[in-house]
Structure 1
Amino acid sequence: MEGKIAAVTGAASGIGLSVAKALLAEGATVVMVDRNEAVLLELVAELGDGAIPQVTDLLHNESCDSMVPEILEKVGRIDILICNAGSYIGGDLVDTDPAAIDRMVNLNVNAVIKNVAAVAPHMIDRGVGDIIVTCSIAGHTAIHVEPVYSASKWAITSFVQTMRRQLMGHGIRVGQVSPGPVISALLSDWEPERLQKMKDMGALMETREVSDAMMFMLTRPRNVTIRDMIVLPSNFDI
């Protein structure tokens, strides 16, 4: 990772922060993308010169569209893009607010597609690059208490694997990490009974387990692509 430049969305917390720290520890420069400017600036001050803030609201069309050009203006190139920002909706569909559905699908699906579309020409011109998307086990199986979230992650699985095939001839590796439940802000939306049950079972992971998987993918020889890595807590039954 020495000398590489990475951009990580949702980098102010959770998996995004964990992988940003892992990349920095291995010598990469990391553009940390998040909408929470105050937290982002605190983190960058703490993490040192290799961390660069990029304040972007992926739910705001103009801000989302400006992200890649603004990063390129700051650092000149993007070797690695990690599309990690996301949100969660659980529960019965009939109880779900339509506005919340729009926000989640826009963040989990539309923003990822737009970010990849924006960075792809730059990576194609350079003939090299890595794109990793944070997906979910929900993108592989129909979880009955997560109809909207699962739908968004199934869409991402399809998108990532089609883009892998579109870009592989340009020296660009595209893959995803599909974790099970991770102790992060997303779980604050879980039903309390379900969350407690998972804690009691030991069926939750730390963010480091997911960032470790991403680092494994990024450090493979260029002739190897890890197209998807499913990472589950050992006591997670699904």
Structure 2
Amino acid sequence: MSQSLEGKIAAITGAASGIGLATTEALIAAGATVVMVDYDEAALAKEIARLGEKAVAQVTNLIDPDSCAAMVPEILKKVDHIDILYCNAGTYIGGDLVETDSATIDRMLNLNVNAVMKNVREVTPHMIERGTGDIVVTCSIAGHFPTYWEPVYSGSKWAITSFVQGMRRQMIPHGIRVAQVSPGPVISALLADWPKENLRKAKESGSLIEASEVADAVMYILTRDRTVTIRDMLVLPTNFDRV
């Protein structure tokens, strides 16, 4: 059974573009208010002006420890509560391990793993007190098999799969659902680091999906009856044949 999201309040990280923006648009269309979290203040201002009063700006740099720690408290000064936290922000590293450097690896792990864990930790006391809530995390198909052409990225998503599924079990007694969505390659800025030849072939073969199609999956997760948890949803381009 589908449940209404009318009047719900969501916070989405990485909300100024890509999957985060597409999900913001879908939630607002369903009657929710969305706190759009992003480090790009100019992009946020542009989207807030377009989306109207149901969109609320929250400028946060998730890889800055102080800014990350302040995110949930600052959101709760702008809205009464948080029904939904969607940890979507992330970055990508492709290619062989020796082709990257330690600073880039640190940045990826801080955003893809550490910030997610911190955001979830900060919101759970609030949701536990209310006895309800939804936490969704953007994982990846790369978090489900050894993706040899992007081992750093894949490793970060394997970590998130383990974290999300562990937290799902911890939160069951508190009425909080924890889930992840695991897309295949999505047409977004994250693919800017893909080898150009791989990207060209993927586009030509139809092996990429739109951000809106991932947003559709997130909406399905969020609108299930409270007695149902979609623990993970894999969303792949039909022609994606690498797994």
Q: For the superposition of Structure 1 and Structure 2, which TM-score range results when normalised by the shorter chain?
A: over 0.9
Unaligned ranges ≥5, structure 1: none
Identity across the alignment (%): 68
CA–CA separation in structure 1 for the residues paired with 2:7 and 2:94: 40
Matches within 5 A, 1:129-144: 129-144=133-148
Residue in structure 2 matching 1:174, options 169, 172, 178? 178
Shift of 1:97: 1.3
Tell me the residue number matched to 1:192: 196
Matches within 5 A, 1:219-238: 219-237=223-241, 238=243
One-letter amino acid of the structure 1 residue matched with residue 70 of structure 2? S
Tell me the residue number matched to 2:48: 44
One-letter amino acid of the structure 2 residue matched with residue 147 of structure 1? P
CA–CA separation in structure 2 for the residues paired with 1:224 and 1:8: 22
Shift of 1:2: 0.6
Tell me the residue number matched to 1:126: 130
Q: Tell me, what secondary structure is at the counterpart of 1:131?
A: strand
One-letter amino acid of the structure 2 residue matched with residue 228 of structure 1? D
CA–CA separation in structure 2 for the residues paired with 1:33 and 1:189: 23
Residue in structure 1 matching 2:34, options 24, 30, 34? 30
Tell me the residue number matched to 1:163: 167
The Cα RMSD (Å) is 0.4
CA–CA separation in structure 2 for the residues paired with 1:55 and 1:137: 29
Tell me the residue number matched to 1:63: 67
Q: Tell me, what secondary structure is at the counterpart of 1:91?
A: coil
Check if 1:18 corresponds to 2:35: no
1:5-61 CA distances to partner (integer Å, 9 max, x unpaired)? 000000000000000000000000000000000110111011000000000000100
CA–CA separation in structure 1 for the residues paired with 2:205 and 2:51: 34
The normalised TM-score by structure 1 is: 0.99
One-letter amino acid of the structure 2 residue matched with residue 51 of structure 1? A
The normalised TM-score by structure 2 is: 0.97
CA–CA separation in structure 2 for the residues paired with 1:35 and 1:178: 23
CA–CA separation in structure 2 for the residues paired with 1:29 and 1:205: 26
Shift of 1:76: 1.7
Unaligned ranges ≥5, structure 2: none
One-letter amino acid of the structure 1 residue matched with residue 10 of structure 2? A
Residue in structure 2 matching 1:218, options 222, 225, 240? 222
